[in-house]
Structure 1
């Protein structure tokens, strides 16, 4: 008899777990928990094999102020898979605000001020599908802090640069949000044109997405800056296609008597991961690339093999010291006999993760 009771309890627990696993919520409070409109960006997973008639109830609480508001959508059909509430049901939602100061601020501005919030999502059956009551409920906690403005740093506004491939820096957006990335756009400003108009309508010289850090070394594949021309650039911060901030538009002027010579001799640095995905690159006397994530001061672990003459002796390669963090690696090989103009070579580099990357390059003597 006792064994039967244990078996019955186990079956009930498994059944309850199965019911709870039929629905799920995906919500990013660091992004969508900043406004009332963002609450409806929640993704609801229906893991059953049939559609359900449901209502979504969202309750927002703050640690000190207590309950802020409750949103109840109109009934809608929830199909199998992952989806968001229907726009029609969101438009016809009923919003109830609490009687406190914080709730009044949210009612007037539509935005949640800084605070320690709890976002609770409850999925309720309407009875039409034969399952009245709460089907699933889950809460997300997040300490909401205002995002700092996205500010450009270098080159300064309207600065004159004497390089065809300048490095571009900006202030990172704070607080730090996991998965946040940046996009940088740089365009030429035509004579008599406003910089905002240029950014929106001109063909971009640089349109680089998926930038993880607050800087960009001018891409090697992008057309270099030309002497006597003015350029505009802007940075956007985003996560999962949601824009979190946009910087001002700054201009820079490419003006230098020796710009053509600088363009020829300027070392070009590109991320080693990007170089490994290409067929090959051209090394003009120096092999250059960017390596990030170096944990400590150490020497670069690498080897070079001549593809034209595999038996060519490639000993006595220069030692390349690395510093913790990001490094602009420059391997000077122009005075070495084993490097022949027009020959192809294979560079093998050990990354900080102990992964090995292979990069082909064509050597050109300066």
Structure 2
């Protein structure tokens, strides 16, 4: 809350702390007229960059009257507002109800009193604004939590929206290594990047051969920052991936691996399967019918299908399940999948696994 004035008029700006996206929202305020008489005013707005001071947008109202006491003011009660676009680096809709450009700005309001031919400023107030896109950049691949074979992966993402609000949209790519017991968000905020690149114009980045060498078995976190006119405007989520040497797990896959446990809600176990899917599910309900879906995490479209579990009984308590993969199941060698079980409580139990085709394993052994 900010209050300013020159004795006669006090200004209390009431802009929302989040969700500021349209011009009419700029004019939400309370005016207190302590002059003892009704005033004739007009208001002016100047929007500038918070860092560089570059002028972005101005707005001027028509004349309006302000009664004594405290009066709420908004774009509807003010009436006609004329805007002028001042910054060429921003794509701004000049219409009164248009969207504001994303960025970090300083909004300064001045109120002018009309007394015959005399016009004078009687109140001024400024406030910092952070206008965020309606949707941040969306990461596509490598998918979150996946194991990949390449040490020079291709990273792809989608732009923030609406993309038409930006004239000079660029991206910063940051990659860090996860430490022990670190979350992805903590790592990207605290760790020194193993690789970082800014001023990217496209929506993809092939990890350079000349960059820091990624290592098998280590987990890395990555994030995209969208910038406009060199100022950050939006952050993507933070995703992780782990480079893996698939051939080294072939002998382990062919062995009699233990049952992998399904975990509830946002948690997810991890396993490697070949030819059959083996999992443990603790049925805490009276459910007797399976509702299981498998999603391919290695593809950006993330296709999925239902597993036919009709021949396998479900009982209360512990269930040790061995599902024999069928020809109609669309498993692809070395792809990462997520198995999701939904019970009658609408709880989601999950398991992530890497699938290896038995034929591919035999071919690898013959080559060795």
Q: Structure 2 length as normaliser, TM-score?
A: 0.36
Q: Which has the higher helix share?
A: 1
Q: Structure 1 length as normaliser, TM-score?
A: 0.36
